[in-house]
Amino acid sequence: MRRWRLVLGDGGADGTGCGLTGRDAAMDGALEALYGKGSDGKGAEGGRRSAGLGASAPSVARWLGDIRTYFPSSVVQVMQRDAIDRLGLNSLLLEPEMLAAVEADVHLVGTLLSLNKVMPETTKETARAVVRKVVAELEKRLATRTRATLTGALDRSARIHRPRHRDIDWDRTIRANLKNYLPEYRTVVPERLIGYGRAAQSVKKEVVLCIDQSGSMAASVVYASVFGAVLASMRAIDTRLVVFDTSVVDLTDQMDDPVDVLFGTQLGGGTDINRALAYCQSRITRPAETVVVLISDLYEGGIRNEMLKRVAAMKAAGVQFVTLLALSDEGAPAYDREHAAALAALGAPAFACTPDLFPDVMAAALEKRPLPIPDMAEQR
């Protein structure tokens, strides 16, 4: 009954007959301020706004402190996101004291980036500290596995046929020589040796990350910036990072610091995928050794047919083309299904990708083998 009472709120007709005291009453107050009657911006009468938190920084700061006291971090992040969406608290995030009180996560970073243009100078340093904290946590979580996975892929893609003993790829060597199996000796005679190359000694592959910076892609921009920095740290991969809306910005020179990359983006605005791909295509010098990763929901504001022609031309030249509808943990996003189907027909299927799956997708692209495409129905 206590849990039902907390779920239903204090409407006087919840039917539980359960009263709340002490800590439970305080928890109920924090929930009521956000989810209670009128907290969605519609009052009980006349549609007038009557947000439960009030439109002041002190009351919101106290509420942020309360929810961090009563709820775990994962729940706090959800409630913060709901508060921003339901109560229009974006303006309060421009105050340094407010930023210091929030629980930082990817979604908050996206919100801060969208407010970057209107953010006062007194707040920007605090905002950068919040963003840097989130980025550092993401790098810690993702970097090691990404480097290990891609280093293996690069070594396998750089196979040589006169390898030294320690560089022999025994699995592929045996497969290539099965026709030379001698049953009486129960052995394979390896006429042709296949070995791993030493990819780390020079640049072997080129990767172009082409990222849609429209407002709906905020979380993807954050994750892509982190992965871009990880890829840029690998000597065997020459990485370029391009963001676009209706204009195109090359942020490759800032890629060593994901925070600089993120503050170089301008979330919001239109979308011109064709123009972005034209720029990326002009920077490709070794098509057969290049992977282009387009991260976009495919809502194209530019010339659709030209966009598809560019993808077809790049693939015909030998470019490995990967289309990610999202790079986040949010599941299957809204996307342009017609454009996704057209890309699939060109051999570039579009799918949503989680950050944990991204290293495997990139490894497959680098090795030119089928991509590990998740089931979109499961993502929903």
For residue range 323-359, what is the model confidence (pLDDT) as tens digits? 999 999 877 788 999 999 999 999 999 999 999 999 9
In this prediction, residue 377 carries a pLDDT of: 47
Q: Where are the alpha helices (DSSP H) in the chain?
A: 2-8, 22-35, 57-70, 73-87, 96-101, 106-114, 121-157, 170-176, 218-232, 258-263, 273-282, 304-316, 337-345, 358-367, 376-379
Question: Would you give the DSSP letter of residue 334?
Answer: P
In this prediction, residue 112 carries a pLDDT of: 83
* Interval 195-219 mean pLDDT: 77
Are the CB atoms for 94 and 121 separated by under 8 Å?
no
* Interval 30-41 mean pLDDT: 71
> Quick check: 13 pLDDT over 70?
no
**Around 100, how many Cα atoms within 13 Å sit in the side-chain half-sphere?**
9
The two beta strands, 320-327 and 350-353, are parallel
How far is C-alpha 324 from the chain's CA centre?
Answer: 10
* Interval 257-264 mean pLDDT: 89
In this prediction, residue 108 carries a pLDDT of: 83
Cβ neighbours, 10 Å, residue 168 = 16
* Cross-strand bridge partners of residue 294: 210, 323
Answer with the residue of higher pLDDT: 167 or 57: 167
pLDDT tens readout for residues 138-160: 999 999 999 999 988 887 665 55
* Interval 158-181 mean pLDDT: 77
**Does pTM top 0.95 for this prediction?**
no
Indicate the domain borders of the chain: 142-153+203-367, 160-196
pLDDT tens readout for residues 55-97: 555 567 778 778 878 888 788 878 887 887 777 777 667 777 7
| Of the candidates 36, 41, 30, the residue with the CA atom closest to the CA atom of residue 8 | 36
High-pLDDT (> 90) share of the chain, %: 38
In this prediction, residue 125 carries a pLDDT of: 86
**Around 95, how many Cα atoms within 13 Å sit in the side-chain half-sphere?**
13
> Quick check: 29 pLDDT over 90?
no
Are the CB atoms for 368 and 157 separated by under 8 Å?
yes
pLDDT tens readout for residues 368-377: 999 998 875 4
pLDDT tens readout for residues 89-125: 776 677 777 777 778 888 888 888 877 777 778 788 8
Q: Retrieve residue 242's tokens.
A: 């391009």
In this prediction, residue 200 carries a pLDDT of: 44
| CATH code of the domain occupying 142-153+203-367 | 3.40.50.410
> Quick check: 22 pLDDT over 60?
yes
